[in-house]
Structure 1
Amino acid sequence: MLVNPAHLKGIRGRKSDPSDAAFLARAGASGMVMGSFVPEREIRELRDLTRRRTQLITARGQEAQRLEKELEDTGMKLSSVLSDITGASGRAIINALIGGERDPQALADLAIRRARSKIPALVEALDGTFTGHHAFMCRHYLDEIDHLAADTDSDLRQQLGLTSSTPNASTLGRLLARLDGDALDDAVGTWLARYAADPVDEPGDTLVGLAVDGKSVRGSRTDGTTVRLLAAALHACQTVIAQRQIAAKSNEIPAFAPLLDRIDLRGVVVTADAMHTQRAHAEHVITPDGHYLLVVKGNRKKLRKQPLRLPWKQVPLQVRTTGAGHGRREVRRLKVCTVRPGLLFPHAVQAMEIKRRRTHRKTGKIETKTVYAITSLPPEQASPTQLAELIRNHRSVKPCTTSET
């Protein structure tokens, strides 16, 4: 199992090099950590190729920056006139400089196509002192750029299947603009859901958690409005497998059913915040043989009064977990109580009381918070430990899928 090191920071235990393997084995077997998403071999190889091509393109750009700096050392501001000094006009001028030409007018006359309209500016920009040392360094940078370009454009392009020219960014943008956004989300989500499942895992007592929460699209804030999406992410690998845009003058509630319509919910436990503790949402999840775990807060006042009245003082503590992160230490206590048929909510079987006690390391300030939740999972299908894991995993997925709820 491949584990993200960031998930191990808040887990207590020995983590020295000699005991790493044993510690990771125990943590994985007990469900303390989640395995990272590992795609199939073809996807991993494609990812290596694209990353290598990106590295070569970045290195070529760095060499072009060094070439520009070398020209600026001579007093020439070629980059202030030409957008790309390694283009056809820029190369012709630099090669002439390396060959011994120093007359600004003669150098500017080497410009071709649209750059010829900038000849007066080029004459002014090419007035400088170009020495033999500058010629040697510029030749070295040009050779390195050509070498990187050859590696990028031949071998890697062939491996990537790019037999023709690479599409321009504007071409790709126009293509994506013509696609149906919802259809694209469905296709990508279906693909991710298929590959996010670990083929090594065998069906058993493991509950498949699916977190539903809202998120704001980064960089979408314009005129005081922000594009918001409702996303569904798998607990195990924190992979978003479906999302729907939320209408500008609406909230997450109308987007809940369309979001889950294309997902197979059989054997899946949908976890969500208090906004989605709605009767219609519960029925929508239960109908295709799914289950829910929903938080109960003040937005459902009558429903919240019901778990508050349960005899929690007589219920023994069933799960106690600790964690550390973001400069604080947290102790979580969970109690579970069977409520069927007393709770007035569709298919609710168990209620949970979660008490969180946070201690800030720097200030020593202590915060205590009590949260209630309900689930359709019966006791024989979900133990208190499994319920605690579902709640913890939902909270760990939430920072990746939401900025405000």
Structure 2
Amino acid sequence: MADPRRVDLDEIVLHFHELEDPRSSINLQHPLTSVIAIALMAILAGAAGPTAIARWAVMKEAFLVRVLDLPNGIPRKDVFRRVLMALKPDAFQSCFAGWLRSLRATAEAETGIEQPVLAVDGKTARRSHDRKNGLGALHSVSVWASEYGLSLGQVACAEKSNEITAIPELLRQVDIEGAIITIDAMGTQKAIAERIVEGKADYVLALKGNQGTMHQVVINHILEQWEDDFAGVDAGRHQTVESGHGRRETRTYIQLPVPQDLPGLRSWNGLKSIGIAVSESVRDGKETDEVRYYISSLTVDVQRFARAVRSHWGIENGCHWSLDVTYREDESRIREKCLRENMAWLNRLSLSLLKQHPGRESVAMKRRSCGWSEEFLLQVIVGSTN
């Protein structure tokens, strides 16, 4: 009788079958799909590189030979390293597309959110540089579906480049139709706004001084309307108050139609509204405040605007923080270009899987549990708690 755990895992491994094997066919001993599946499971269990992946696999040999196709036993460390070095990062990510679509559909059904906020932001793996060989630290831009807890794509910024060139490529890789795309001020570019609209999505883009005249005009217009409490415009206002751990924070969101005299209005595809988010915080008697300005393709619906602004920070709190603290990604010394990009993607994919698990434990505790319990590991990777 077939092991039901193997049957479940076989459904996941199917996603890798179309990935072209970059290895020579001479003396090929280990199926590519099994090598990738082991790498992903080991990272879920706490591994951070090829050596740790191989070590985990040896310790779990009895389990792995039951659930995977391993005709020649457990691969050695060099096998994992060569495979993850040879796989082109864009091809490697694309083989997970079907799996991600399935996870996204499940998350949409469970949350009831049909217009998700997809936050786009960059992150640097600070110790991944190799100055001796002229390799800078890995800086990648990723898409994080904040309300779903899903990483949908990642693109590494080219050497001597920046996020402005990486973001359009990333948006082409990810299905953004029907979503709200949020990006920090660096990504507030006409070409990026156009790409979002072409992808049948909406945008909420932050404004800072890099937009020069436009930034100041938006500030002036909002302050002018504020003087008579927005009596002359069809503005929306929303406020939230949160308290806890000795801190009280009030957030005020205001959204209004874009002024028709905004500089270069017609060159911003789909631009319909502008907005402001004011955060006032009191902690231990000390008051701080922060003001952010935005442009958006959304019509005036302030609660939807507020949700987009607030959800954007999910990529910092729900993704980047976990990668730094739980995965210790900032401390990684992997310096080979493709290897570090593929490991970064596996980190994000495994984090997404951990967040889909319904248990209320922290990500760190779930990851430890994957290392302790084969049953829990399979629950996470196949999406079942039965």
Same structural fold, with TM-score higher than 0.5 when normalized by the shorter chain: yes
Mark the CA change 1:199 to 1:244 in structure 2 (over 3 Å): closer, same or farther.
Answer: closer
Match for 1:350 among 259, 262, 273? 273
Deviation by residue 1:321-352 (Cα, 9 ceiling, x = unmatched): 13357874321101111126443233211111
Task: Tell me, in whole angstroms, the C-alpha distance in 2 between the residues paired with 1:206 and 1:178.
Answer: 38
Task: Tell me, in whole angstroms, the C-alpha distance in 1 between the residues paired with 2:259 and 2:111.
Answer: 28
User: How high is the TM-score relative to the length of structure 1?
Assistant: 0.57
Deviation by residue 1:339-367 (Cα, 9 ceiling, x = unmatched): 26443233211111111112233xx3211
Alignment pair present for 1:267 and 2:178: yes
Larger mean CA deviation between 316-325 and 160-169 belongs to 316-325
Cα shift at 1:213 = 0.5
Task: Tell me, in whole angstroms, the C-alpha distance in 2 between the residues paired with 1:228 and 1:200.
Answer: 30
State the partner residue of 1:359.
Answer: 282
Does the 8 A contact of 1:208 with 1:269 survive in 2? yes
Indicate the SS of the match to 2:271.
Answer: coil
Indicate the SS of the match to 1:346.
Answer: coil
Cα shift at 1:160 = 4.0
Indicate the SS of the match to 1:358.
Answer: strand
Alignment pair present for 1:42 and 2:4: no
Larger mean CA deviation between 274-283 and 193-202 belongs to 193-202
State the partner residue of 2:249.
Answer: 330
Match for 1:339 among 258, 261, 270? 258
Mark the CA change 1:295 to 1:190 in structure 2 (over 3 Å): closer, same or farther.
Answer: farther
Gaps of 5+ in 1: 1-40, 56-148
Task: Tell me, in whole angstroms, the C-alpha distance in 2 between the residues paired with 1:386 and 1:245.
Answer: 31
Correspondence 1:42-191 to 2 at 5 A: 42=8, 152-154=60-62, 157-188=65-96, 191=99
Mark the CA change 1:304 to 1:325 in structure 2 (over 3 Å): closer, same or farther.
Answer: farther
Match for 1:390 among 308, 315, 326? 308
Q: Which amino acid aligns with 1:353?
A: I
Does the 8 A contact of 2:236 with 2:256 survive in 1? no
Task: Tell me, in whole angstroms, the C-alpha distance in 2 between the residues paired with 1:187 and 1:335.
Answer: 42
Mark the CA change 1:282 to 1:325 in structure 2 (over 3 Å): closer, same or farther.
Answer: farther
Task: Tell me, in whole angstroms, the C-alpha distance in 2 between the residues paired with 1:220 and 1:187.
Answer: 25
Task: Tell me, in whole angstroms, the C-alpha distance in 2 between the residues paired with 1:217 and 1:330.
Answer: 31
Does the 8 A contact of 1:214 with 1:401 survive in 2? no
Deviation by residue 1:256-293 (Cα, 9 ceiling, x = unmatched): 11111122222111100001111111111111211111
Task: Tell me, in whole angstroms, the C-alpha distance in 2 between the residues paired with 1:222 and 1:357.
Answer: 42
Task: Tell me, in whole angstroms, the C-alpha distance in 1 between the residues paired with 2:188 and 2:205.
Answer: 6
Mark the CA change 1:326 to 1:228 in structure 2 (over 3 Å): closer, same or farther.
Answer: farther
Q: Which amino acid aligns with 2:252?
A: R
Indicate the SS of the match to 2:280.
Answer: strand
Cα shift at 1:221 = 3.3
Does the 8 A contact of 2:185 with 2:206 survive in 1? yes
Mark the CA change 1:160 to 1:328 in structure 2 (over 3 Å): closer, same or farther.
Answer: farther
Alignment pair present for 1:228 and 2:136: no
Match for 1:292 among 196, 199, 203? 203
State the partner residue of 1:4.
Answer: none
Q: Which amino acid aligns with 1:337?
A: L
State the partner residue of 1:211.
Answer: 119
Indicate the SS of the match to 1:198.
Answer: helix
Mark the CA change 1:366 to 1:44 in structure 2 (over 3 Å): closer, same or farther.
Answer: farther
User: How high is the TM-score relative to the length of structure 2?
Assistant: 0.60
Cα shift at 1:167 = 0.5
Mark the CA change 1:251 to 1:170 in structure 2 (over 3 Å): closer, same or farther.
Answer: same
Indicate the SS of the match to 2:191.
Answer: helix
Q: Which amino acid aligns with 1:320?
A: Q
Task: Tell me, in whole angstroms, the C-alpha distance in 2 between the residues paired with 1:324 and 1:227.
Answer: 37
Cα shift at 1:190 = 5.2
The structure showing larger relative contact order (alpha-carbon pairs under 8 Å, at least 6 residues apart) is: 2
Does the 8 A contact of 1:357 with 1:369 survive in 2? yes
Task: Tell me, in whole angstroms, the C-alpha distance in 1 between the residues paired with 2:217 and 2:74.
Answer: 62
Q: Which amino acid aligns with 1:398?
A: E
Does the 8 A contact of 2:280 with 2:290 survive in 1? yes
The alignment yields a C-alpha RMSD, in angstroms, of 3.6
Does the 8 A contact of 1:189 with 1:240 survive in 2? no
Deviation by residue 1:73-131 (Cα, 9 ceiling, x = unmatched): xxxxxxxxxxxxxxxxxxxxxxxxxxxxxxxxxxxxxxxxxxxxxxxxxxxxxxxxxxx
Does the 8 A contact of 1:349 with 1:377 survive in 2? yes
Cα shift at 1:186 = 2.8
State the partner residue of 2:240.
Answer: 321
Mark the CA change 1:164 to 1:187 in structure 2 (over 3 Å): closer, same or farther.
Answer: same
Larger mean CA deviation between 155-164 and 220-229 belongs to 155-164
Gaps of 5+ in 2: 1-6, 13-36, 47-57, 325-329, 331-386
State the identity %: 27
State the partner residue of 2:150.
Answer: 239
Indicate the SS of the match to 1:347.
Answer: coil
Indicate the SS of the match to 1:309.
Answer: helix
Cα shift at 1:242 = 0.9
